[in-house]
Amino acid sequence: MAELQNAIAVVNPETKPESSAAPGISTVLQDQAGGYSMIRLVLAAWALGVLSVWIYNSLLKKELAPIPEFVVVLLSALTTGKVVQRFGENTK
């Protein structure tokens, strides 16, 4: 992993290699200013909720349960909103 990060740093000198430890959940949910991002919290909550219900239903049926289309559309909309919002964040 460190080799990959060093290779990325060579390609993009502005990218600093990070420690080899994986970021914690609180780090993933924070924006660049250090505060918690509400859209990240909502996206994580929906994703975990859908995943847990899907796993539960799949275990009950003993086969892969279908995920309703409206749930896929909702998660896609939340993800798209996060991607679009990312471009509007202040990068100071």
pLDDT of residue 20: 53
Identify the CA nearest to 85 among candidates 34, 46, 32, 48.
32
pLDDT of residue 84: 85
pLDDT of residue 2: 61
**pLDDT tens digits in sequence order for the chain, 92 residues long:** 566 565 565 555 555 555 556 677 777 777 777 777 788 888 889 999 999 999 999 999 999 999 999 999 999 998 898 888 877 766 55
Give me the torsion for CA of 37, 40, 45, 50, rounded to 10°.
Answer: 170
CB atoms within 10 A of CB 79: 14
